[in-house]
Amino acid sequence: MLQTSRPIATSNESGSGEEVLSFGALMTKTAGLFRRQYPVMALAFGAVMLLAFAYLLTAPAKYTGRAILVVDSTKSPAFQPQQQQIVNAADLTMDSSGVDTQLEILKSENVALAVIDKLHLERDPEFIGPGAGPLGVLREILDRLFGDGEGEDAAFRRQRKAYQHFASNLKIDRIGLTYAMEIRFRSTSPARAAEIANAVADAYVADALQAKYEVSKRAAGWLQDRLAKLRDEASAAQRAVIDYKAANNIVESDGKLLNDQQVTEYNSSLIQAKADVAAAKARLDRINSILTADDLDPSAADTGTVADTLKNDVITHLRQQYTDLANREAEWSRRYGANHIANVNLRYQMAAIRRSIVDELQRIAQTYKSDYDIAQAREASLEKGLDDIVRQTQTKNEAQVKLKTLESNAQSAQTLYDNFVQRYMESVQQQSFGVTEARLVTTATRPLRKSAPKTLLVLVIAAGGGLFAAFAAGVLRDVSDGTYRTAAQVEESLQAPCLALVPLYDAPRKPVKARGGGKPDEQAVVHRQIVREPGVASAVAEAPLSRYAEAIRSIEVGAHIHRAARSNRVVGITSTQANEGKSTIAYSLAQLVAQGGARTLLLDCDLRNPSLSRRVAPKARAGILEVLSGRSEFQETIWSDPAISLDFLPAVVKTRFSRSHEILASSELQVMFDAFRKHYDEVIVDLPPLSPVVDTRAIAHLLDTFVLVVEWGRTRRAAVERALVEAPAICENLSGVVLNKADYAVLKRYERYGAEYYNSRYFDESAA
């Protein structure tokens, strides 16, 4: 069905939203990727595994010596006092940063050079030689390219080279969060590996001892000079204190001045006197407040709050009587009324008891007043005595200020001198008693098995890397393959039907006779790749049961289906680029149509490169150009196949010219095509390719439909899409696309059902 507008889906067109693949869809895509690109993926995987095997075969075996060193920071020297040992143990406890510091000392260059000098590693070929295996050769090449100059000292160069090899093979790690450190050294000799691991631990211990000895030695020398000066300063400070006390008549008892002791005693007595005055005044004020009350109630709690009233038998007896009378008065009031004579007598008795209690409280108040006056007199006497003592000690206190300063200076000088004496004795002892916090708890022994290269690990890593490389190579190859390989790709990209996938085919030659006295030595050819074979006959005639013939029939069916909606007498065969096999497809299609009994004309309109004419009629002297110019008649230039009703009008171009599109768009050619439509049932036109020249676009208005030939696995999709976009007339009248030169063996990897679709039982494999 003819389409007036056919959208082209370009390769950079993206969907409106992100496509979320399910697990099944992802597995399907992955399986499809493997099916398409498994040769490249297998090659990448094999290359990685081959490199791994080459490394395992050439790399020298290495052995690792392992020793464990513990840094015991809590160990104290045996000659220190017990208290000093506890203090040192608390001070020397290492944190994580302290252990890391010791770890860096173990890795330091000083320790490494000590081991190298002790074991003479600068003369060991393993340490100064190029090394074995491919890595050693590569290292030697890099040393020669980027190494130092030759003018340096040879011994120094050997030492530095030995150190570099030593450092690269030494591994020291902390074991967990403990104070233990594991020393590992890798060497080609098992005995050498264990020896160097132990030597590193010994060198570290020796370095620690030497460092402590040097520090103690320098400290002892400095302390010895400092002690003499401190001794004189302490003696001078003590003499100044003694002289000042004698000059100011300062006497001390138990470390205190006598005036200070008297002031302390007076101050204590005065404080007690003030407390007694306050207590007496509080008692007096309380009892006065009770006596001055308007209505004294002996049964109330206030009358018993004074301490002396609680101990007074008279007041206690009177209160008891008053309470009994009050209870009786209340009871009789309920029985006989408040104005009964008995109740009146009770109230008189209660009033008499109240007066007696008041009299007794007044006597107690006089006693409190006397005690208060005595306490005030004692307080005044103590205050006067304290003032006298304070005035007497003011003069000596001024002298005491300077005395305190002198005593403090003397004490500081003596303390500093004592500390320096103790430090000096410790430094002298440490020089003669070598001790370190590190000790070797596990001695390295000769390993029995190699540690590198680890065959299984290398193979596992290589397999993982090979799988990754294979997948990456497959994805890269699949993504970079911008060609057409399946009919679905054509239909999805170009929105046009894929008429056929034409395979490669070789067939024997067949002669073609020429009308008008032509000789039968001229040959009509068909070849699966015209560029390679300049003269082969069509497989449509020689092998009708081949895949090639079936593909040509698919093209014919597609063209006839298209013709059901419109009379298509002229069919143009074109391609995007040159050498895609369009001329071969045009000749094969014309031959197939002619075998069906239709009068068929094959026309070569590729005026720039008439390859079909050179192969079908190589000795032709006249063609379409001569007919258009009137120099030859149409019947004289036609070549025909005697077996079928196939005529061929060649294009004989003796020199190239640039105005070919004007010839194809001329009115003379239109008149010629009108004549072709009257005399032939089908006209097959071999057109120029779309991209290099504009000839096909110039002749497009004379053709009814087009068939686009695309070389399978070679022509880029972007080129095809661009060519169709630039030729809208061809795109609108496009019957379909033909994928030419398809490799069916490879095609099965791209089409999941390719093997079943192209089942060999329907074809003659011997012909194919």
Which of these, 505, 590, 577, 526, lies nearest to 766 by C-alpha position? Answer: 505
Q: Which residues does the chain have with pLDDT short of 70? A: 1-21, 73-94, 130-152, 248-261, 293-312, 391-400, 427-435, 505-539, 541-542, 560-568, 752-768
Rounded Cα gap, residues 752 and 747, in angstroms: 9
CB 108 within 8 A of CB 166: no
CB 184 within 8 A of CB 65: yes
CB 621 within 8 A of CB 652: yes
Rounded Cα gap, residues 37 and 478, in angstroms: 7
Is residue 647 domain-shared with residue 668, that is, in the same domain?
yes
Rounded Cα gap, residues 308 and 295, in angstroms: 21
Is residue 747 domain-shared with residue 613, that is, in the same domain?
yes
Within a domain: residue 372?
yes
Rounded Cα gap, residues 73 and 89, in angstroms: 7
- List the structure tokens of 624: 């379409």
Q: Distance of CA 323 to CAs 311, 327, 345, 347, 459, Å?
A: 18, 6, 15, 12, 113
Rounded Cα gap, residues 370 and 71, in angstroms: 83
What pLDDT does 467 receive? 93
Is residue 461 domain-shared with residue 475, that is, in the same domain?
yes
Question: Looking at residue 718, which CATH number applies to its domain?
Answer: 3.40.50.300
Is residue 263 domain-shared with residue 353, that is, in the same domain?
yes
CB 331 within 8 A of CB 269: no
Within a domain: residue 307?
yes
Question: Using omega within 30 degrees of 0 as the cis cutoff, is the peptide bond preceding 39 cis?
Answer: no
Is residue 325 domain-shared with residue 193, that is, in the same domain?
no
- List the structure tokens of 566: 């419109």
Is residue 587 domain-shared with residue 649, that is, in the same domain?
yes
Farthest-apart Cα atoms in the chain, separation = 183
Is residue 543 domain-shared with residue 621, that is, in the same domain?
yes
Cβ-Cβ contacts under 8 Å for 563 (sequence gap 6 or more): 705
**Which amino acid, one-letter code, is at 74?**
T
CB 237 within 8 A of CB 403: no
Q: What is the DSSP letter of 79?
A: T
What pLDDT does 527 receive? 30
What pLDDT does 711 receive? 93
DSSP secondary structure of 447-461: -SS--BS-HHHHHHH
Q: What is the DSSP letter of 504?
A: P
Query: How many domains are contained in the chain?
Result: 4
What pLDDT does 395 receive? 64
Sheet holding 600-604, edge to edge: 498-503, 734-742, 705-711, 570-575, 682-686, 600-604, 646-649, 639-641
CB 469 within 8 A of CB 44: yes
DSSP secondary structure of 656-718: --S-HHHHHTSHHHHHHHHHHHHH-SEEEEEPPPTTT-SHHHHHGGG-SEEEEEEETTTSBHH
Q: Distance of CA 519 to CAs 516, 522, 634, 635, Å?
A: 9, 6, 18, 15
What pLDDT does 383 receive? 79
**Cβ-based burial of 674 (10 A; exposed 0-12, middle 13-18, buried ≥19):** exposed
Within a domain: residue 17?
no
Is residue 472 domain-shared with residue 525, that is, in the same domain?
no
Which of these, 660, 284, 234, lies nearest to 408 by C-alpha position? Answer: 234
Q: What is the DSSP letter of 302?
A: G
Instruction: List the domain range (segments joined by +) for residue 347.
Output: 256-432
Is residue 386 domain-shared with residue 517, that is, in the same domain?
no
Is residue 555 domain-shared with residue 658, that is, in the same domain?
yes
Within a domain: residue 238?
no
Within a domain: residue 604?
yes
Which contiguous run of DSSP H or E holds residue 70?
strand 63-71
- 252-264 b/e (C-beta count within 10 Å ≥ 16 → b): eeeeebebeebbe
Is residue 188 domain-shared with residue 275, that is, in the same domain?
no
Give the pairing type, strands 63-71 and 438-442: antiparallel
Long-range contacts at 99-103 (CB < 8 A, ≥ 24 apart): 99/71, 99/174, 99/179, 99/181, 100/174, 102/71, 102/181, 102/438, 103/172, 103/173, 103/174, 103/181
CB 581 within 8 A of CB 711: yes
Give the pairing type, strands 180-187 and 170-174: antiparallel
Is residue 510 domain-shared with residue 466, that is, in the same domain?
no
Within a domain: residue 24?
no
Within a domain: residue 724?
yes
Neighbours of 108 (CB within 10 A): 14
Within a domain: residue 217?
no
